[in-house]
């Protein structure tokens, strides 16, 4: 009978943005070095097949264990999180539920922003790290390949990732759609908190034909980010001058009162002001100027909400893709589990065939042994084929069927 990885089961243990806040997720996050150490210890304690997925939105350990507590203990040991914290916000998936969970993640349907495919690159990175550490078995390799195939089909056949879903990127897309590369503009990003940084980086990536300058109260931060994205940096004391020189000003400061005022704006030059701050940090009176266009975060948020609603319409299509790839995975898995049993069944039937032909050949001297062997061999192949089709079916309880076969035919034990 087929052994089942020393009675180990397949688990996904973890936590994500749905129940765990950013502080809790940070407590359980694992640096690359910690991930490598965890994988090495997993091997030492005979947890040989495991992958670690640690991102800003989720932390998961995926692998085979006798009990999920083994994986949870490793996570707590190598992170700053505690068992008590984990118990409050965690989830544990087992076997088929765990496998489907990975496929769902890859399609973007389980992302914090519906349809966000950033997780795909993170899944690949997690897989390669585990592969390098030698903690990937055939099951995990096949599951990750199937998951990536589901992701690719989702991208190609649905529009679940179309449109803009963050106000920072919505701002950049607005500029991209309305200002051509043939007419380069001077862009100023003022304020480099999370939104400001994301916007600046998106400007550098998608609007590289335009001039980009960064201003921040903490100038060291502006210098650092400007160097990272190959942008210009200006001192905060020169803010008014730089605003007047700019064609597009993106405001992302966190002040409680306006930081960009009417006296900073050019009196005649046409300018676009994009205010991503809450509350507004560009004085609303600026919008009274005939040469000024101003867009605030509410306008951009409306566009992102519309995008999400459109993406939700794609969910049924994605669910069909998930089920298709899940079925393909379980067809492969059931076939892999059943192959040793099928081979053993065929050997058992061939022994019965050989004994029967030998016995009847002694009784009937004129029997055509070759003809009998050919006919019975065809029967054996058809019987074996029927069993193989049964075991490959997704809804078959393969282990139970193999046990029945073993009880009836006394199959030889075999390794996976």
């903690």: which residue's tokens?
Answer: 135
Q: Which two tokens stand for residue 87?
A: 């118990």
For residue 56, indicate whether it is catalytic: yes
CA 6 to chain centroid, in Å, comes to: 29
- In contact, 329 and 97? CB cutoff 8 Å: no
Calculate helix-pair angle for 138-157, 96-107, nearest 10 degrees. Answer: 40
- Reply yes or no: is the peptide bond before residue 279 cis, omega within 30 of 0: yes
- In contact, 411 and 341? CB cutoff 8 Å: yes
The full 3-state SS of 180-231, as one line of letters, equals CCCCCCEEEEECCCHHHHHHHHHHHHHCCCCEEEEECCCHHHHHHHHHHHCC
Please, which residues bridge with residue 188 across strands? Answer: 213, 249
- Active-site residue among 7, 56, 76, 203? 56
44 CB-near residues (< 8 Å, 6+ apart): none
The sign one gets for the Cα dihedral 53, 132, 147, 389 is: negative
- In contact, 98 and 53? CB cutoff 8 Å: no
φ and ψ at residue 94, rounded to 5 degrees: -130, 140
Q: Which two tokens stand for residue 342?
A: 């099928």
Query: Coil, strand, or helix at residue 67?
Result: coil
Catalytic sites, residue numbers: 56
């Amino acid at each position: 009978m087929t052994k089942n990885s020393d009675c180990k089961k397949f688990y996904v243990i973890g936590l994500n943005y749905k129940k765990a806040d950013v502080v809790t997720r940070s407590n359980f996050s694992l640096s690359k070095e910690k991930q490598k150490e965890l994988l090495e210890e997993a091997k030492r304690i005979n947890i040989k097949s495991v992958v670690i997925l640690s991102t800003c939105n989720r932390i998961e350990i995926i692998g085979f264990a006798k009990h999920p507590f083994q994986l949870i203990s490793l996570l707590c040991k190598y992170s700053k999180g505690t068992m008590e914290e984990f118990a409050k916000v965690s989830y544990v998936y087992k076997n088929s539920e765990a496998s489907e969970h990975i496929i769902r993640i890859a399609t973007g349907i389980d992302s914090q922003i519906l349809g966000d495919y950033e997780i795909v690159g993170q899944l690949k990175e997690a897989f390669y790290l585990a592969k390098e550490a030698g903690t990937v078995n055939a099951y995990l390799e096949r599951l990750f390949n199937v998951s990536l195939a589901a992701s690719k089909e989702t991208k190609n056949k649905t529009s679940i990732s179309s449109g803009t879903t963050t106000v920072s990127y919505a701002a950049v897309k607005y500029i991209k759609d309305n200002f051509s590369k043939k007419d380069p503009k001077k862009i100023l990003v003022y304020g480099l908190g999370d939104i400001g940084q994301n916007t600046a980086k998106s400007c550098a990536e998608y609007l590289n034909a335009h001039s980009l300058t960064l201003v921040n109260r903490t100038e060291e931060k502006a210098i650092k980010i400007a160097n990272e994205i190959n942008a210009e940096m200006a001192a905060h004391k020169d803010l008014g001058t730089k605003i007047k020189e700019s064609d597009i000003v993106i405001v992302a400061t966190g002040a409680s009162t306006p930081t960009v005022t009417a006296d900073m704006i050019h009196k005649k030059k046409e300018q676009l002001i994009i205010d991503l701050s809450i509350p507004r940090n560009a004085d609303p009176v600026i919008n009274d100027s005939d040469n000024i266009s101003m867009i605030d975060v509410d306008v951009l948020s409306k566009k992102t909400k519309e995008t999400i609603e459109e993406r939700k319409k794609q969910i049924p299509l994605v669910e069909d893709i998930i089920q298709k790839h899940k079925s393909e995975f379980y067809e492969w898995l059931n076939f892999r589990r059943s192959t040793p049993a099928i081979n053993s069944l065929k050997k058992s039937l061939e022994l019965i065939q050989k004994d029967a032909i030998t016995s009847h050949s002694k009784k009937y001297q004129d029997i055509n042994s070759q003809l009998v062997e050919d006919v019975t061999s065809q029967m054996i192949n058809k019987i074996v084929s029927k069993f193989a089709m049964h075991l490959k079916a997704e809804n078959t309880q393969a282990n139970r069927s193999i046990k029945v076969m073993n009880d009836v035919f006394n199959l030889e034990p075999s390794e996976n």
